[in-house]
Each structure stands twice: as structure tokens, then as C-alpha cells.
Amino acid sequence: MRVGIVGIGWWSDVLAGVIAKTDKLELRAGFTRSPEKNAKFAETFNCEAMSSYEDMLALDDLDGVILTTPNSAHLPGTLAAAAAGKHVFVEKPVSNTIADGRAMIAACDAANVVLAVGHSYRRHGALRHLKKMIDDGELGRVSRAEGIFSNDNGLKLKPGAWRTDPAEIPGGCLMQIGIHQIDNLLYLLGDAQELTAYVDRLETEPEIEDVTSVLMRFRSGAIGFVASDYISPRRFMINVHGTKGNAFFDMDNDGLRVQRTGESKPSPVVFPPADHLLAELEDFADAAKEGRKPEIDGTDALNPLAVVLGAVQSSKEGRSISLKEILGEA
């Protein structure tokens, strides 16, 4: 699958490096508004530097685009790609609003092109193994799960970049990093029904939220908790509690551990490794080739977005929010 990357920055470099690992994708072109960045990216990753997004979409041998643009640019970028008959992979979140997300879905459906969204961490080997344990009943009935994602990048942020604009990133760190753990809990536990949240700004110089906590109730009856912040050292942890055992995943330290009923402490669990970024891009290529739905399409991606938007509303209004209210469902 020949793809172009739009919106060149540090993350586009990461994805271009991932593309180089697989024979399922080929990086055909890159585009950003900075000529210097454009030329450097093309030289580094051996692709063509395009003078405009329109010129990229006009390439006859281009199959799809990867959008690593600001959130507000996801809708126009997707509409243009769909009109040109190109498949679309867009980084999370699918958009900043439910309405924009649905417009993207409708455009891609009408053009019969794939819309895939980059919620990658659920594809990590530990998450895949944990999901299998839950589905196989190894943990019993799951009653509670927690997801934590923090880093101190917010302390380095200065006004001016799109990630420091409240209009571009509603919910601040929750939209930027916490949404990963929201998607992970939705993957592990199923649909959420309602939530209560606190979203605040304590330390960042730009006017964006840097500390958030979200409590979710799932259809299964389980309770989920997601915490994210931009002002403390990096942590990425998921804990799942069930009637037959507890599972603990610490990405940067202890890996995956399980404490079964009757055991006094958790023991390490070996799981098949997986390159989650490679897996999501190869799934995009396979879905386009096979004419099927990718694992996470636009409709799936509306759910973690709805939780983030609901969390912002809950914190502002001081009440619990139904996900149906955010999604506009009866």
C-alpha cells in the first residue's frame, strides 16, 4: 500500500520508521507547509516531497494518506482524501467533535474507502494477552479497572504550538494521552454508559488542562478509572481486578503480573510480544486491500472521544454525564 504522510513532525518520523519495517506499506510522499521540513523528511525517508496536499492526492500511484495533523485538520484532510478515492489513517482522536467524526465516517463510506484511527496501545502484547485472559474467564468477573498515563511534557510547553491551544485539544492531557487509557479500558471491558470527571489546570504555562481523573461505569457493571496528567514523571499502568484474580501491567517497569485468588503476591506473566504501531499500520493496509473494516474505524473511535468530551462537560457542570448524551443517542 503506497501512502503519503501529511503533517510532518516528530510523530510522522516515528510512523515513517515503522513503515520501513514492513513490506505491506511503502512511503510514497510527504507534505507539510514548511519547505525545510518537507525536504528533510523526504531525504530522510526516501520519499517525494510534495508542494501541496492537493498535489499529493493527485498522485495516480497513491493508495492512502496518514494524517498526523492537528485535530481540527482531520475533517478537511479526510474529506479531501475521500473525494480523491484515497484510504485514510488518522491519528487519535478521530476529531475534536462527534459531528466532525461522523462527517468523516460518512465521507469515507460514500467513497468506499477505509477510515482507520490510531488507537495503538490496545495492540500491545500485554493488552492482547490481558484481553484474552478476561475473555477466557481467567480473572473471573471483572469488577474494576484502572488506567494511568502521565508524563511531564506539560512543564515544557510554551504557548503557540497547536497542542497548547484549548480549541485544538479540548481536555488537554486527557485528549492527548489519557484517551489511550480510555480506549484500553473500552477494549478490555466493553461499552461505557456514564462518567464523572475532574479536569483542571495546575502548572502548565499554556491554558490547557494538565490533570484529569475520570470514573466510568460500564454496561457490565464494572467500574473504570482513568487518570492522566502532564506534570508528573512518566507512568503507564493498567490494573484489572476480578473475582478470580488481579492483573497488573506496568509498561516501563514490571511488565504484566497476575495475582490469583489464594496467592499473596502477583507473579510475572509471559506474553507474545507485539509491535503495536506496526500492527495498526499493517491492519490499515490489510483492511484497504481486503475491503474490510479495520479494527478501529471511525465509529469505534467515537467512543473514546465521547468519554473525553463527556469528562470535560462533567467537570464543568459538576454532574455525571451519560455517554448517550454526548453521542446524541436516544
Cis amide prior to 93 (ω within 30 degrees):
yes
pLDDT single digits (tens) 215-247: 999 999 999 999 999 999 999 999 999 999 999
Closest to 80 (Cα-Cα) out of 106, 105, 100, 107:
107
If asked whether residues 283 and 166 sit together in one domain, one would say no
Residues 72 and 137 both lie in one domain: no
In this structure, the answer to whether residues 112 and 246 fall within a common structural domain is no
Q: How confident is the model at residue 330 (pLDDT cuts 50, 70, 90)?
A: low
> Both 114 and 182 in a single domain?
no
Asked if residue 284 and residue 218 are part of one domain, the reply reads: no
Q: Are residues 150 and 39 in the same domain?
A: no
Q: Is residue 103 located within the same domain as residue 130?
A: no
Clarify whether residues 142 and 92 are in a common domain: no
Are both 136 and 48 inside the same structural domain? no
83 and 197 co-located in one domain: no
CATH number of the CATH domain containing 310: 3.30.360.10
pLDDT, tens only, 175-189: 999 999 999 999 999
**pLDDT tens sequence across 19-77:** 999 999 999 999 999 999 999 999 999 999 999 999 999 999 999 999 999 999 999 99
Q: What's the domain count of the chain?
A: 2
Longest Cα–Cα distance of the chain, Å, equals 64
Tell me the average pLDDT across 249-269: 96
Is 150 found in the same domain as 63?
no
Which CATH number goes with the domain that contains 62?
Answer: 3.40.50.720
Range of the domain at 17: 2-120+278-296
Contact between residue 171 and residue 312 where contact means Cβ atoms under 8 Å apart: yes
Give the separation between CA 84 and CA 64, rounded to whole angstroms.
10
Do 183 and 282 belong to one domain?
A: no
